[in-house]
C-alpha cells in the first residue's frame, strides 16, 4: 500500500479556494494523493501556475476563475463545483490577506475588506459546502487560519480578528455537523515563506527578525502546511474535528 492509498483520498471530489502559496501547495498535494481537485481563485495567472506545476509533478487539477467577495458568488462557486465534480467530499478555504498598519491608522476600507475576504468568504463557502456534505453524510472541511488568531501581533488587527473569528466559526460548524459525518478543522501556520510573503521578508531584515522568534530557527515551507491539510482531509482524520493545528515550528510556545 502506498502513502496515497493509505490516505484514501483517491477520486475524492475536492474544492480548494485560493491558489496562493498555501492553497496552491495544498491543491497540488491533494491531487498527488489522488483527489479530483477543482481550484478556484480570482487570479488566472495564479491558477495557471498551480495547474502547470501540478502537471509537472505528475497529477492534474482543474481550475475556475472566481471572485468570492460576495455571498452569491461563493454559493454559485460551490454549486458549480458540485455539478462539475459530481459531489463534494473535501473542501479547503485558503483565501486571505493582511493589512499591516497600527489600529489608529486603519481606515474603514482596510477593516471591511479584510473581514470580508478572510472571514465572510469562509462563512459563505463553508455554509454552502456544509449543506451539501451534511445531506450526503460525509465531508472533510479545512480552513487556513494563522498563529495570529492566538498571538497579539502588532499591526495585524483586522487579520488577527478574522483568524480568531475563523477559529470559533469552524468549531461551531464542527459541533453542529459531527453527527452527520462531517469534520471541520483548521490549520494555523506560523511564519511561512511563500511567493506572497517573500517581498515583505526580503526587506528591513524581516526574515531574520521572524526567524529569531521561531524555536525551530527557520521559516516554514508551504509543503509542510499542505501535508497537514492532506491528513485532515483524509479518512485517517475521521475522528478529528473542531481542532486548530498549529504548524509553526514552536512559535506559539514562546
Instruction: Give me the active site residues, please.
Output: 159
Beta carbons within 8 Å of 104's beta carbon, 6+ residues apart = none
Give the separation between CA 156 and CA 169, rounded to whole angstroms. 20
Give the separation between CA 242 and CA 244, rounded to whole angstroms. 7
Using an 8 Å Cβ cutoff, are 62 and 84 in contact? yes
Cell of 6: 493509505
Other C-beta atoms closer than 10 Å to the C-beta of 175 total 12
**Residue 240 backbone phi and psi in degrees, to 5:** -110, 115
**To 10 degrees, the CA torsion angle through 118, 123, 126, 127?**
-170
188: which strand partners? 246
Give the separation between CA 245 and CA 11, rounded to whole angstroms. 25
DSSP calls for 212-245? TT-TTSS-B-HHHHHHHHHHHTSGGGTT--S-EE
Range list of β-strands (E), the chain: 13-17, 36-41, 61-65, 90-93, 139-144, 182-189, 244-247
Amino acid at each position: 500500500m502506498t502513502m496515497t492509498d493509505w490516505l484514501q483520498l483517491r477520486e475524492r471530489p475536492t474544492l480548494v479556494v485560493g491558489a496562493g502559496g498555501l492553497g496552491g501547495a495544498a491543491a497540488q498535494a491533494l491531487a498527488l494523493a489522488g483527489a479530483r481537485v477543482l481550484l478556484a481563485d480570482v487570479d488566472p495567472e495564479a491558477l495557471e501556475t498551480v495547474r502547470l506545476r501540478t502537471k509537472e509533478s505528475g497529477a492534474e487539477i482543474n481550475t475556475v476563475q472566481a471572485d468570492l467577495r460576495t455571498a452569491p458568488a461563493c454559493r454559485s462557486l460551490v454549486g458549480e463545483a458540485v455539478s462539475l465534480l459530481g459531489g463534494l467530499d473535501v473542501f479547503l478555504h485558503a483565501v486571505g490577506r493582511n493589512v499591516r498598519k497600527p489600529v489608529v491608522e486603519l481606515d474603514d476600507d482596510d477593516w471591511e475588506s479584510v473581514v470580508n475576504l478572510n472571514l465572510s468568504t469562509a462563512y459563505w463557502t463553508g455554509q454552502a459546502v456544509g449543506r451539501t456534505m451534511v445531506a450526503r453524510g460525509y465531508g472533510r472541511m479545512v480552513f487556513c487560519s494563522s498563529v495570529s488568531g492566538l498571538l497579539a501581533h502588532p499591526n495585524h488587527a483586522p487579520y488577527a480578528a478574522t483568524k480568531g473569528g475563523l477559529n470559533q466559526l469552524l468549531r461551531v460548524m464542527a459541533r453542529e455537523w459531527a453527527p452527520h459525518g462531517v469534520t471541520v478543522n483548521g490549520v494555523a501556520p506560523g511564519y511561512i515563506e511563500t511567493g506572497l510573503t517573500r517581498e515583505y521578508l526580503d526587506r528591513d531584515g524581516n526574515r531574520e527578525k521572524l526567524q529569531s522568534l521561531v524555536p525551530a530557527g527557520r521559516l516554514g515551507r508551504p509543503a509542510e502546511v499542505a501535508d497537514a491539510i492532506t491528513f485532515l482531509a483524509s479518512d485517517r482524520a475521521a475522528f478529528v474535528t473542531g481542532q486548530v493545528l498549529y504548524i509553526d515550528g514552536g512559535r506559539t510556545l514562546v
